[in-house]
């Protein structure tokens, strides 16, 4: 997943919380276009504001 996001040209940060490793992308002033591009690649996107 990290490589797919990086290939799309977005910055990636991995964060461990509660035993999970979360892939965070951004920050973005408007996350809509990035979220749409990642969904088109088949990735699940959860927008956190």
Complete DSSP assignment for the chain: -HHHHHHTT--EEEEEETTEEEEEE---SS-HHHHHHHHHTT-------
Q: Is position 45 within any domain?
A: no
Report how many domains make up the chain: 1
Banded model confidence at residue 1, pLDDT cuts 50, 70, 90: confident
Q: Is position 47 within any domain?
A: no
Q: Is position 36 within any domain?
A: yes
Q: Is position 46 within any domain?
A: no
Average pLDDT of the chain to the nearest whole number: 91
- For the segment 9-29, the average pLDDT, to the nearest whole number, is 93
């Amino acid at each position: 997943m990290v490589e797919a996001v990086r290939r799309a040209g977005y910055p990636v940060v991995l964060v461990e919380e509660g035993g999970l490793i979360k892939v965070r992308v951004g920050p973005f002033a408007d996350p809509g276009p990035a979220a749409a591009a990642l969904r088109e690649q088949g990735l699940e996107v959860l927008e956190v504001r």
